[in-house]
Amino acid sequence: MPACTATGKDGAPCRLYARHGRDLCINHDPDYAEQRRANVHAGGRARSAPGVTEIPEAIARRDVRKSVWWLTEQLVLGTISSSRALALSRLLHTAAQMGPDELDEEQILREIELRGILMHGIPPRDDEEWELAKTIFDDDAIAEFKRWSAG
């Protein structure tokens, strides 16, 4: 195969092979670039999805799990490009590896305490614990806790 006859930005000759019957490689051949543009407009594989224009609530609230599911939904619907999704997934992975914020430490301890008393069959003891329980558990579990406190 013949070598590409183009020179790079640094003035050095291109090291890629030329396309069949051409003097230029796929990086330097303007006809190939035009084919790629046509492929993009025809809905081919190289087409990138439109970007998301507003910050989703899950990301704004720094909820990693919900953010991952939001990102999955955007990929399935095709509303986010794969390169942007890749960048977001790396950021979400990093955020998950960082662990909880220091400010969340107190919240985590309250949740552990609540789960401990519930594990022993004791319902939430005050309004604050009831509010926390409502953020953690579903309606059926809350109804069961209320049944405990009534009986």
Question: Do 1 and 43 fall within a single domain?
Answer: yes
d(CA 70, CA 61): 13
Q: Is residue 52 part of a domain?
A: no
Question: Do 77 and 110 fall within a single domain?
Answer: no
Question: Do 93 and 135 fall within a single domain?
Answer: no
Q: What is the value of pTM for the model shown?
A: 0.39
For residue 25, count CB atoms less than 10 angstroms from its CB and return exposed for 0-12, middle for 13-18, buried for 19 or more. Answer: buried
In the chain, the number of structural domains is 3
Question: Do 42 and 15 fall within a single domain?
Answer: yes
**Residues spanned by the domain of 146:** 104-150
pLDDT in tens, the chain (151 residues): 677 788 877 788 877 766 666 777 777 777 776 666 666 555 544 444 455 667 788 888 888 888 899 888 888 888 888 888 899 899 989 988 887 666 678 888 999 999 999 999 999 999 999 999 999 999 999 999 999 988 6
Question: Do 114 and 79 fall within a single domain?
Answer: no
Q: What is the predicted pLDDT for the residue at 121?
A: 93
Q: Phi-psi region for residue 14, left (φ > 0), alpha (ψ -120 to 50) or beta?
A: beta
d(CA 17, CA 24): 8
